[in-house]
Structure 1
Amino acid sequence: MATFVLIHGAGDVGWYWHLVAAELRARGHEAIAPDLPCDDDSAGLPEYADTVVGAIGDRTDLIVAAQSFGGFTAPLLCDRVSVELLVLVAPMIPAPGEAPADYWTHTKFSEQVRVRYDDTIALFYQDVPPELAAEALNRARTQSEARMGEPSPLETWPNVATRVLIGRDDHLFPADFLHRITQERLGITPDEIDGGHTPALSRPHELVDRLEAYAAEQGLLGGP
């Protein structure tokens, strides 16, 4: 059995991971998916990390999976709790000391050749079943921008095994963009999964297969 800590993206809730969490539990693992204080103007990245650390408690040997903007919170956990593996899914990958508001300029996102989608469903949930996409929109929260200009407290990328998984048809972060950023910032090649930006809703079983495979590569699942 392994303990998976699941971190949602901007303006979202832990419910985003509910299908993945259920599948992980069905396979004998523990899954923790806290709600970050993303709609609280007084909360910044340190408070996001505090929230996750509080949800973890005294658990150890953790596998942390973070989606999208959750990539800014995930590496901050490694100096505070026992993390064995980071898995970044369709992620933002912060540089040390980078403010979230500066990410777009620093990564030259505006220069990326991509189709523009004005519809939220088309941008984030194009391959999610309609009823789940509607529920996701209903549960979404407004992402506070109040502290997005503050530098991340991340001083260096943690010395923790890190994998990056990207969607081949991600409408927000195209695959070629994430290939470039992953190579530039982590020096590794990302893996790919079919679909878009929110595979925890569109492909939960396949995503769990990937998470288990990454954990097994690190010897974290035990076994006979």
Structure 2
Amino acid sequence: MATFVLVPGAGGVAWYWHRTVPLIRAAGHQAIAIDLPGDDRHAGLAAYADIVIRAIAERSEIILVAQSLAGFTAPLVCARAPVRMLVFVNAMIPKPGETAGAWWSATGAVEAREQAAASRGYATEFGVGTYFLHDVPQDVLRTGPEPREEAETVFGEPCRFARWPDIPIHVLAGRDDRFFPIKFQRRVARERFGKEVEEIPGGHLVALSNPEGLTERLVAYERD
């Protein structure tokens, strides 16, 4: 039995994983959804890593799942905890010492997002509904908490790690992601990891829009 430690992206709300957690448990594994103080201007990457490591505690067989901005917390956790496997989900993949603020220009993320929007016929100007919620069922959104805005602190703190751990690392992406378009995610994964992206249906918040497909892939990674 593995323990899936699920780390959310910007805002840090554990509720993001609420449709995935029961499916992982039904598959015979443990699941811990992490809640991070995304709106706390005194908390940065190091504080986020501390919270995740405290949640792991003495557990073993850890599969760390990092969504979006949590890609910057992931290597800090891997350096200090017995992580068996790392899975990125529509995630920002950092280089050692990089800040999340610098990542955008270094990868060309905004340009990629705008180009995809122009070619597919939706607004190039960012909007939460267009880029995050377009495929999330309305009945799911009605049960959710108020969004938690991410403080700027985390974007200015360097991601201080020496190298990626020698463990299995998977890069999983929603093929309908408008915020980090699939073509962009493929390029970044190749450039930064030399890895290919594995795709499932769903947008940027795939744990809300396609929890079944996401859980199926996560459990398959553990099994394989």
Q: Counterpart of 1:182?
A: 189
Q: TM-score, normalised by structure 2?
A: 0.92
Matched residue SS, 2:155: coil
The alpha carbon displacement at 1:147 in A equals: 4.1
1:34-76 deviation digits (Å, cap 9, x = unpaired)? 2112111111100000000011110012001111111111121
Out of 113, 116, 121, the position equivalent to 1:114 is: 116
Q: Counterpart of 2:178?
A: 171
Q: Counterpart of 2:47?
A: 47
1:73-107 deviation digits (Å, cap 9, x = unpaired)? 11211121111110100111111110111010110
Q: Where do 5+ consecutive residues of structure 1 fail to align? A: 218-224
Amino acid at match of 2:99: A
CA–CA separation in structure 2 for the residues paired with 1:139 and 1:54: 26
Q: How does 1:22-171 map to 2 (within 5 A)?
A: 22-112=22-112, 113-115=115-117, 116-136=124-144, 138-171=145-178
Q: Is the 8 A contact 1:114 1:174 kept in 2?
A: yes
Amino acid at match of 2:28: G
Instruction: Please identify runs of 4+ aligned residues in structure 1 that moved more than 6 A.
Output: none
1:6-33 deviation digits (Å, cap 9, x = unpaired)? 0000013111001111111122211111
The alpha carbon displacement at 1:135 in A equals: 3.9
CA–CA separation in structure 2 for the residues paired with 1:144 and 1:176: 28
Amino acid at match of 2:89: V
1:121-160 deviation digits (Å, cap 9, x = unpaired)? 2211211111223444x43211010242121112212222
Amino acid at match of 2:58: D
CA–CA separation in structure 2 for the residues paired with 1:163 and 1:118: 28
Q: TM-score, normalised by structure 1?
A: 0.92
The alpha carbon displacement at 1:114 in A equals: 2.1
Q: Is the 8 A contact 1:65 1:87 kept in 2?
A: yes
CA–CA separation in structure 2 for the residues paired with 1:27 and 1:168: 24
Amino acid at match of 1:41: R
The alpha carbon displacement at 1:199 in A equals: 1.2
Amino acid at match of 2:172: L
CA–CA separation in structure 2 for the residues paired with 1:57 and 1:49: 12
Q: Counterpart of 1:13?
A: 13
Q: Is the 8 A contact 1:4 1:63 kept in 2?
A: yes
CA–CA separation in structure 2 for the residues paired with 1:118 and 1:135: 24
CA–CA separation in structure 2 for the residues paired with 1:7 and 1:54: 13
Matched residue SS, 1:114: helix
Amino acid at match of 1:23: L
Matched residue SS, 1:176: helix
Amino acid at match of 1:123: Y
Q: Where do 5+ consecutive residues of structure 2 fail to align? A: 118-123
Pair 212,147 (structure 1): closer, same or farther in 2 beyond 3 Å: closer
Is 1:194 matched up with 2:201?
yes
| Equivalent residues, number | 216
CA–CA separation in structure 2 for the residues paired with 1:150 and 1:193: 31
